Structure 1
Amino acid sequence: MTNTQTPAQYANWNHLYSGKVRDLYEPADGSREHLLVVTSNRVSAFDFMLEPPIPEKGAVLTALSRWWFAELGVPHHLASEGPEAPAEVADRSMVTMRLDMLPIECVVRGAITGSGYAEYRETGAVCGIELPEGLSDGDLLETPIFTPAFKAELGDHDENITFERACEIVGPEIAAELRELSLTIFTRARDLAAARGLILADTKFEFGRHPETGELILADEVLTSDSSRFWDADAYETATGTQRMQSFDKQIVRDWLSANWNKQGEPPVLPDEIVERTRARYLELFTRLTGNEHLA
């Protein structure tokens, strides 16, 4: 994956790690209780970092995660006290508890699409869960399913796994608790989204364990455009084919690249129109879910 970005440096924080979108920092004083999670405006597709970034993307993802953490009523990693985030990134960063993160991505699917649909077409199942015959791309499932993935190293793709394999990785008790928590959170979020004219098709959660109590804590981003598929309920009912599944994410970028790049060499620079349409799509989801026109 191409990425030439150099992480920024902030007073009182030392850079620890960078992913596709987020940069992690730890306190410069050597304390181990907190992390700073800074969400960038970077955008990637087909394993390439793209130019230019999407304005306000980091702030939108951060604000939406904060909103969901407050709405869901489950233990989460936002720190109630601790060091302050740097002023220059206060709108797109979170100071969190430092957790022992689990190597499982907790994917919940309320619809069959994406990699899940591809697997279903080949095997009739997703992550070992048998599904009814004759499902089409985008069909809603009668009951959401827990389809975990094993977190890959940076630059690699996560691996869809069975629940039995998740039990081998984290232990049966923890795996069962992850499944129950994930399905509970998904159901709450799905119902809240439905009240706002949105379908939560699927999402992924990440959990860590509190280093002292062992409690499972919801971490990372949650129910954002980058971690979830949200569809417009009216469009889903009236449109056909893939038009019924227009997500509030970077699909605009993927579609433009597919039409204008053969995936050989470096990708082209995104046109201003594509950047602005993508920015507007991210903001639209935030506004529809939270009812707020502005991020602050």
Structure 2
Amino acid sequence: MAGLSKTHIPSLEQIYSGKVRDVFAVGDDKLLLVATDRISAFDVILGDPIPGKGKVLTALTNFWFEKLKDVIPNHLTGIAPESVVKPEEIDQVSGRAVVSKRLKPILVECVARGYIIGGGWKDYCATGSVCGVKLPAGLRQAEKLPEPIFTPAAKAEVGTHDENISFERVVELYGERIATIIRDTTLKLYKEAADYALTKGIIIADTKFEFGMDDEGNVYLMDEVLTPDSSRFWPADDYEVGTSPKSFDKQFIRDWLESQPWDKTPPAPKVPEDIIEKTADKYREALRRLTGTDIEP
């Protein structure tokens, strides 16, 4: 199965190309979002795609949108992506694209943390807090928190890191109503998803959500949801407090890159075929466990 690194859809105006997604205008009020098989690590897009990755991200996101639709509306329109492109372009969108509402993005990355790991663990070891949220003393690496916490970040320009901010700063940026909605919704989405995932043998350690608004100020869940790109998924049967758990996300390919003589600036090293295959398998295993389905090769 070959990977899709770039899209070529001349029938629509392309308005954005990100680390993974290419975005096209569909009329004045809708967007075509195409999840490619590109993968980034340390903010660098690797030269080798992960075959099927975009289809996994799309299938998982659509699964969660359906499962969590009673918590908050999402950006999906229900329009088939195949219907907005020309016949010769369909193979680039089938199984990996959606047609969404065109919303005004809320430029806050809404992070929910249920376990202490990664940058949060480093923050806690240094300060006893995570992103300014004071936590109990004596927590160990990868330990479950007493309650999930909301740790927002201001979305940065492309190529730079997002900056952790306080809830009070979110209020300053968007007002109390919007700030409260996205905080409370982030925590509710995380709790419901984490409870479900645990029944499938997966711990969701943390995740991030993105929201947008329509012209009337209504808030919608948008972008990707609870995927291995936006979350830390750990196998529950292998979980042990005090260690850095194995994961279903791109940590596997990050670990390989860390072992290379690379200064984390472009271009990235060429990734061996077996590392690409194992990374693709991890993404698909997460999909199979959570949804009971698999992607079409």
Higher RCO (CA 8 Å, separation ≥ 6 residues)? 2
The size of the alignment, in residue pairs, is 285
Q: Which runs of 5+ in 2 are unaligned?
A: none
* Number of the residue aligned with 2:233: 230
Indicate yes or no: 2:32 matched with 1:36. Answer: yes
1:8 is displaced (CA, Å) by 3.0
Choose from 59, 75, 78 the match for 2:76. Answer: 78
Identity in percent: 46
Give the AA of the match of 1:258: E
Report if the CA contact (8 A) 1:78-1:97 is conserved: yes
Q: Which residue of 2 aligns with 1:194?
A: 198
Aligned 8 A contact 1:261 1:267 in 2: no
Q: Which amino acid aligns with 1:198?
A: I
Q: CA deviation at 1:199?
A: 0.7
Kept in 1, the 8 Å contact 2:203–2:235? The answer is yes
- Structure 1 gaps, min length 5: none
Deviation at 1:179, TM superposition (A): 0.8
Corresponding residue of 2:123: 119
TM-score, normalised relative to structure 2 = 0.91
CA contact (8 A) 1:34 1:82 kept: no
- TM value normalised by structure 1: 0.91
> Is the contact between residue 52 and residue 295 of structure 2 (CA under 8 Å) also seen in structure 1?
no
Deviation at 1:85, TM superposition (A): 4.5
From 51, 57, 64, the equivalent of 2:60 is: 64
Q: What do the CA deviations read for 1:55-82 (whole angstroms, capped 9, x no partner)?
A: 0001110111011101112310111248
**In the alignment, structure 1 residue 52 sits paired with structure 2 residue 53:** no
Aligned pairs (5 A) from 1:1-296: 8-27=7-26, 31-73=27-69, 74-81=72-79, 84-86=83-85, 87-88=90-91, 89-211=93-215, 213-237=216-240, 241-242=243-244, 245-263=245-263, 266-295=267-296
Amino acid at match of 1:51: G
What is the DSSP-based 3-state SS (H/G/I as helix, E as strand, rest coil) of the residue aligned with 2:270?
A: coil
Which letter maps to 1:78?
A: L
RMSD of aligned C-alpha atoms? Answer: 1.9
When residues 97 and 275 of structure 1 are mapped into structure 2, their CA distance, relative to the original with a 3 A threshold, is same
CA distance in structure 1 between the aligned counterparts of 2:139 and 2:51, rounded to whole angstroms? 38
Q: Deviations over 1:1-55 (max 9, x none)?
A: xxxx99533143110011111111102xxx3110011111111112222121100
**What amino acid does structure 1 have at the position aligned with 2:281?**
A
CA shift at 1:264, angstroms? Answer: 6.4
Q: Is the partner of 2:259 in helix, strand or coil? A: helix
